[in-house]
Amino acid sequence: MSYPIRILHLDDDVNDSELVKAELEADGLACTLRRAETKEEFLAVLQQGNVDLILSDFTLPLFNGGEALSLARETYPEVPFVFFTGTLTEETGVEALKTGATDYVLKNRPARLGQAVRRALREADAQRERKKTDERIQYLAYHDALTGLGNQVFFREHCSQMLATAERDSSPAGLILLNLNRFKDVTTALGRQYGDWLLQQVTARLRQAAPAGVGLARIGGDEFITFLSGDKATVVSLAQSLCHVLEDHPLRLGDLSLDVRCTIGLALFPEHGADPETLLQRAEVALTHAKATHVSSLCYDRTQERFTPDHLRLLGELTQAVTLGHLVLYHQPKISLKTARVVGVEALVRWRHPGRGLLSPEQFIPLAEKTGLVKPLTQWAIAEGLRALRAWLDQGLPLTLSLNISTACLLEEAFTDHVTALIESSGCPPASITLEVTESCLMADPARALACLSSLHRLKVRLAVDDFGTGYSSLAYLKDLPVDELKIDKSFTLNLIKNRKDAAVVRAATDLGHSLGLEVTAEGVEDQQTWHGLIAVGCDTAQGYLMGKPMPATDFSAWVRTPPYGAGS
């Protein structure tokens, strides 16, 4: 309330206004009075605002007090309303109080006016305070006190509303779950108040990156959630902006500089869920997965559910295995069927797990492929393979090196650059290196695959289609690929002698390869008969347990000096 008291006086008599002013001032209350006689005037003054109190006559020639009261209650319920009238019976007075009047004073007892006004204003003040407290309680029920962001309840309600709208309009939406990395370390090392400070700084940055209309909430210690309508591209792009705004530059507090890193899980409506609970749970699955595999962001994918806690533990350990040197590269000889000489090796990764022993790639490569982890793993395998090749070339062994490349790596934009750099620093001739990509990998995104293979081909490295026969390649398509070699899948070779259908596949694949000018290799040669069968078919090279199992580089160096290689020479 301001002072002097600003009174709206609804009365047709100027003298009464003077009387009011005089009475109140005599009682020590300074006031300004604006008088209204009609409904229009009454409303006009109210709408100007700045009214602390309404004082109203009950009967007026052009308007009436009862109607004024209900109008005022509707539009300005917080302004106290006191009747000052000569005509009010006790009954109407009580009735007026019931319908919302604050008090009534009879004109023949004006001395009571000051007391009534004081009380009315005190009550109005108290009511305003109560309202503020209510609003604060309401706010706290929906917001997080530390950051001012929405809380769990806010998220559930607002996300439900958003999803209902999306459902009605058949439009997509998404949820981004963001978790700060190593937040616990910060609070442990620096104390809780730094943790709080960090959360506030993070909030400020998130607000900055989140456009208007996007829901933002903090639902746990260091877990933030954003939900928005839009397709996958929109959601992913916001996730990237959030990540960027957090990681772009460190947070500063005096001399202290803190790098903020986050991990993000995404879930989309309608494909991953139709209610806040399900979407949140799925975003959590994606987030857990992203953390375990040390990638910054992942979108939910049903296959992530298949990852048992054991898988996730293994993935976590695999990340370390790359850096701790627990991975080893085995080499399987590749033999010419024409000369029975070793022409090259295929590098095959193994994991010397401290607790589980030597793990075969089948036990961890599929896991690594579903996450970003296969990329560092491949980088490592390429570098390690090239190191071994360089040593053999230096010893005068004219070998080639074949490396297995996963889809995710092949389709990665920077892959060609990475390979170029690794080859250059190894000093190995590109023509002695073959990159094997599986047939199914090529079919996953043929246009992209073609572009990637073409750029690799320009490096002069050789390219091979691995596991040929299992992926239903279109032969017409194969003809347009810049590949040099075709590797017939071992499932056909293993049955070459026993099964006529498989023998027919091996023969057809060999002929096809040759007609396209490709070298044809058969994997999985386990006996002499198969070896001779392949020679009969016209295959060029072979790999198999008959000639040599995959072995560590040092074993291979010894093995290669002791021909013949178990085969039919």
Binding residues for ligand C2E (CB under 6 A): 332, 348-349, 360-362, 365, 378, 381, 404, 406, 466-467, 490, 523-526, 543-545, 550
Rounded distance between C-alpha atoms, residue 562 and residue 64, angstroms: 118
Q: Cβ 494 to Ca ion, closest distance in Å?
A: 12
List the beta bridge partners of residue 84: 105
Q: Cβ 406 to ligand C2E, closest distance in Å?
A: 4
The site for Ca ion, by CB under 5 A, has a size of 4
Q: Which of 151, 378, 404, 416 binds Ca ion (CB under 5 A)?
A: 404
Q: Cβ 526 to ligand C2E, closest distance in Å?
A: 4
CA 565 to chain centroid:
53
Residues 276, 272, 367: CA angle, nearest 5 degrees:
125
Q: Which residues contact 559 (CB under 8 A, 6 or more apart)?
A: 333, 548, 551
* Nearer to Ca ion among residue 8 and residue 388 (C-beta): 388
* Nearer to Ca ion among residue 466 and residue 484 (C-beta): 466
79-138 residues near Ca ion, rule: CB under 5 A = none
Ordered DSSP codes for 59-111: B-SSSBHHHHHHHHHHH-TTS-EEEEESS--HHHHHHHHHTT--EEEETT-GG
Q: Cβ 474 to ligand C2E, closest distance in Å?
A: 21
Contact between 466 and Ca ion by CB under 5 A: the answer reads yes
* Nearer to ligand C2E among residue 293 and residue 378 (C-beta): 378
Which DSSP category does 424 fall into?
H
* Nearer to ligand C2E among residue 222 and residue 346 (C-beta): 346
| Residue 406's binding partner out of ligand C2E, Ca ion, none, with CB under 5 to 8 Å set by partner kind | ligand C2E
Q: Which amino acid is at 411?
A: L
* Nearer to ligand C2E among residue 179 and residue 521 (C-beta): 521
List the beta bridge partners of residue 359: 351
| Residue 543's binding partner out of Ca ion, ligand C2E, none, with CB under 5 to 8 Å set by partner kind | ligand C2E
| Residue 525's binding partner out of Ca ion, ligand C2E, none, with CB under 5 to 8 Å set by partner kind | ligand C2E
* Nearer to ligand C2E among residue 264 and residue 337 (C-beta): 337
Rounded distance between C-alpha atoms, residue 529 and residue 421, angstroms: 43
Q: Cβ 549 to ligand C2E, closest distance in Å?
A: 7
Q: Cβ 486 to Ca ion, closest distance in Å?
A: 11
Q: Cβ 327 to ligand C2E, closest distance in Å?
A: 9
Ordered DSSP codes for 518-559: -EEEE----SHHHHHHHHHHT--EE--TTT---EEHHHHHHH
Do 28 and 114 contact (CB within 8 A), yes or no? yes
**Consecutive H or E run containing 45:** helix 39-48
* Nearer to ligand C2E among residue 288 and residue 406 (C-beta): 406
* Nearer to ligand C2E among residue 237 and residue 569 (C-beta): 569
Task: Show the DSSP H helices in 169-191 as ranges.
Answer: 183-190
**Consecutive H or E run containing 394:** helix 374-394
| Residue 23's binding partner out of Ca ion, ligand C2E, none, with CB under 5 to 8 Å set by partner kind | none
Tokens representing 169 are 């309009």
Contact between 407 and Ca ion by CB under 5 A: the answer reads no
Q: Cβ 296 to ligand C2E, closest distance in Å?
A: 22
* Nearer to ligand C2E among residue 149 and residue 381 (C-beta): 381
Residue appearing with tokens 């375990």: 292
* Nearer to Ca ion among residue 467 and residue 485 (C-beta): 467
Residues 74, 76, 79: CA angle, nearest 5 degrees:
130
Rounded distance between C-alpha atoms, residue 195 and residue 189, angstroms: 10
Rounded distance between C-alpha atoms, residue 226 and residue 528, angstroms: 63
Closest CA to 1 of 78, 105, 111, 77: 78
* Nearer to Ca ion among residue 151 and residue 521 (C-beta): 521
| Residue 188's binding partner out of Ca ion, ligand C2E, none, with CB under 5 to 8 Å set by partner kind | none
* Nearer to Ca ion among residue 16 and residue 467 (C-beta): 467
Q: Cβ 527 to ligand C2E, closest distance in Å?
A: 9
Q: Cβ 530 to ligand C2E, closest distance in Å?
A: 9
Q: Which of 37, 103, 222, 467 binds Ca ion (CB under 5 A)?
A: 467
Closest CA to 126 of 164, 86, 78: 78
Q: Cβ 525 to ligand C2E, closest distance in Å?
A: 6
**Consecutive H or E run containing 32:** strand 31-36
Do 376 and 364 contact (CB within 8 A), yes or no? no
Q: Cβ 523 to ligand C2E, closest distance in Å?
A: 5
Residue count (the chain)? 569
Do 159 and 276 contact (CB within 8 A), yes or no? yes
Backbone phi, psi, residue 274, to 5°: -125, 5
Contacts 24+ apart (CB under 8 A), 12-21: 12/37, 12/57, 12/60, 12/61, 12/62, 13/57, 16/57, 16/84, 16/107, 19/107, 19/110, 20/55, 20/84, 20/110, 20/113
Q: Cβ 219 to ligand C2E, closest distance in Å?
A: 38
| Residue 362's binding partner out of ligand C2E, Ca ion, none, with CB under 5 to 8 Å set by partner kind | ligand C2E
* Nearer to ligand C2E among residue 33 and residue 383 (C-beta): 383
The mark string for 413-452 relative to Ca ion (x by CB under 5 A, - otherwise) is -----------------------x----------------
Q: Which residues bind Ca ion (CB under 5 A)?
A: 404, 436, 466-467
